[in-house]
A and B are shown apart, each in its own frame.
Chain A
């Protein structure tokens, strides 16, 4: 009997179920782009070096080119197409648009997905390599330009729009923090994985 080389799976992407049969070699990135017509996630290097294919998996950022589609079944996947609410852009998208946080736009979906997660990670108190005080009781450090640069460094932008990207992430973080304070309990920002952490961050803020 010939070995099985494909499987029928269901991927949950942006809150919607997508049943499909995939070649076992198919990466999550190729499944999105070639099979599901979700071409917002970009292929810049196809081996985890550039960040253009970054998506959120269970609320955390991952490069979709290094995930196999078959292994992504049962997980909550958010792509750049899933961030806006109808015509209302996600604060990160709006800030990239307003502050020109891009040029050619090819790294942009990855930068934006990473930025969404960076803001969550920071609000949840996760330190980075440049965080001075990493004791849990110290709480999140200020989301300085240096913190943003460090946390965003897995996303290359060859057009080198880094300066305006950092400004956009900073502005979006402020907007998001403002929303957290005003939103009623239970409405979770898209892309956040753990409401407990969000609540902690709110308390800290």
Chain B
């Protein structure tokens, strides 16, 4: 037994100082175990079989010969699979029928899951899965995404479908300068390095799942409903996660593993292959966006229209809300925004890092650049003149809107004042040089969370919260937050995350994870410290305090709360090959309180590099004939690698919101917002050619040069 030993004075806190990752040694030595690496006795391996047609009906599955193959223990398909609950309200809505496996004979896209082969070894399972004959009645499919599809309809997703004020046509007609342009962005895939993996087993009447996900409680809750179990009968753990970016929610691998473990009554692991990830784990829809801007002679907006069309599957609706960006960034007397969707015979898209904001900011921030040029204004000055005092849509005041501070600090450090605005005049050998700028914003929301803080008898402290560290540094950030709240050194605090038994908590998404969890951890640790300050004696089992921020989140003052940023890029364009090289990038952000500068900077820079990747490389091309992707793997789908990435710098300005008790805004997504637009604007400045279609491939650069067109 020990007595209370939290600090009595207030030492200088560790929040705001750089701290290496608390799990860092495990990660650099290979000791950190990810979901597919946890050993289980008597483990069987499941391998999914995906459809070879893009639309139709399964006539038969010839499982007999496969069941006779060495090591094969089961073949699950729609003819024999256990029945699942398919109509329920999950954590983020009704389940995507892609995940409620083998419940009917319909095939909704190429790569639809049609069977699971379970065998003693992964080699046996794979060979058997690849040998399984499935007969289909094929139907004509349609994967032809275009912005002018007449069946596109507006959808209220996690942002409203249509928001309109003012007379758009009248204001456009009265404008001195008008921009009316169409932008497109391609299908993009998360492509995190760790493929989705889960192992499931029944243990004393309880279902245990080791998984790689962005929220153990989300997966627990949805799987419990799907398999008609009490949530308390399901435990999901996810300690180390090899990247998520929005894709690691409820997916087929968990459902397949649970189904097989239930049928066979032994542990089963299902790991998706890289090629299976492309049709089965979500992606960012392609977008087609029309932006119309009208401004008076001084560059003040009179009219704004942003209309974005994206695609979804025929079985589930997800809308990429790209037209949400101007609802935060710029106001106009006539302000019309709409998010529409077209259902096609394609996989269901999903949240991908800055959903809506990433493609939407490419369109809007490019269009503002075009307008600045028409008005003869510096693009930063155009934004200064159009900085809104209140939210264009809600009319609410902004909480800590430091967008202009980002532009000004960035301009100073980037050397923007010396910029010659004329396009296509800077040459260095065969390279044309240019610079571009764009703005960024991302919503700073919060979700209710619970946390447990324990004073241990040995004088240390343990914090438990079902948070997820998908690479963000959340585990380390929460350790710093807890240490400060307890007023003890960091090395006396251990934070355990990734276990649904720790209670409900926000998922790692929407840049809300660390903000939401820190709130709960701070509350529990503060209360524990107050309790110990009374001189409590600590029993062997420790003293535990539980916090729940549900009421506090509800009471949060309703303002428009966002993080902001200004992105600056310098590019060189090879006029002979069409190659675009980013030479340097600088992002200045207003993202509230920065908990750990080391990991926060890394995340912001990582987001900006996603912008390079989006601007120049990423493009999943769908083949109309087969309905699938050309080259759906990491050789065919290009993401930026070392040689594509120059010195990218991120920094931040003071950003304090007095009405926000947490002050953390999250840095996971704002870094990618506007980054592609800054690069496209720099390409315009370098070459004189405006590229409105991503990615800016060499062939597009060359074609534009040859035809003199402003797009390719």
Contact = CB atoms under 8 A, between A and B. Distances in A.
B315 interface: no
Contacts of A175: none
Interface stretch (B170-178, B188-196, B328-336, B552-560): B188-196
A199 interface: no
B474 to A, nearest CB: 11
B30 A100 contact: no
Interface string A41-63: 11111110110100000000000
A100 B613 contact: no
Given A100-B602, A148-B642, A162-B609, A45 B634 contact: yes
B243 interface: yes
Interface stretch (A90-98, A119-127, A134-142, A188-196): A90-98
B424 interface: no
B642 A166 contact: yes
Contact of A160 (B121, B244, B609): B609
Contact of A106 (B25, B28, B34, B639): B34
Contacts of B274: 44-47, 49-50
Interface stretch (B159-167, B465-473, B695-703): B465-473
Interface in B620-648: 633-635, 639-643, 645, 647-648
A84 B29 CA distance: 7
B228 interface: no
A150 interface: yes
* B121, B123, B127, B245 pick with most chain A CB within 10 angstroms: B123
Given A81-B29, A104-B471, A161 B242 contact: no
B635 A49 contact: yes
Given A84-B29, A105-B242, A159-B471, A145 B193 contact: no
* B274, B473, B641 pick with most chain A CB within 10 angstroms: B641
Contact of A105 (B39, B471, B645): B471
Interface in A68-121: 79-81, 83-84, 89, 93-94, 96-98, 100, 102-109, 112
Contacts of B609: 160, 162-163
Contacts of A112: 28
Contact of B643 (A45, A150, A163, A164): A150
Given A105-B240, A159-B606, A25 B645 contact: no
A46 B692 CA distance: 35
Interface string A147-163: 01110111111111111
B33 interface: yes
Given A158-B193, A160-B613, A149 B642 contact: yes
Contact of A33 (B37, B195, B240, B599): B37
Nearest to A79: B30
B28 A89 contact: yes
Contacts of B273: 46
A157 B121 CA distance: 29
B425 to A, nearest CB: 27
Interface string B231-243: 0000000001111
A163 B648 contact: yes
A100 B598 contact: yes
Interface in B73-126: 121-123
Interface residues of A, number: 60
B448 interface: no
B490 to A, nearest CB: 15
B30 A153 contact: no
Interface in A22-49: 23, 25-26, 30, 33-34, 37-47, 49
Contacts of B32: 105
A11 interface: no
B610 interface: yes
A157 B193 contact: yes
Interface in A155-184: 155-166
A43 B165 CA distance: 51
B193 A44 contact: yes
B55 to A, nearest CB: 28
Interface in B217-260: 240-245
Contacts of B30: 38-41, 79-81, 109
A103 B642 contact: no
B640 A100 contact: no
18 contacts: A37-B39, A41-B30, A47-B274, A49-B274, A50-B274, A80-B28, A83-B29, A100-B21, A105-B242, A145-B647, A149-B643, A153-B641, A155-B641, A157-B641, A158-B243, A159-B192, A160-B640, A163-B645
List the 6 closest A-B pairs by CB distance, nearest first: A40-B30, A106-B242, A104-B471, A103-B471, A105-B27, A160-B609
Given A81-B31, A107-B242, A158-B245, 13 more contacts: A25-B123, A47-B633, A89-B29, A103-B471, A103-B602, A103-B603, A106-B242, A153-B642, A157-B193, A159-B602, A160-B613, A161-B602, A163-B648
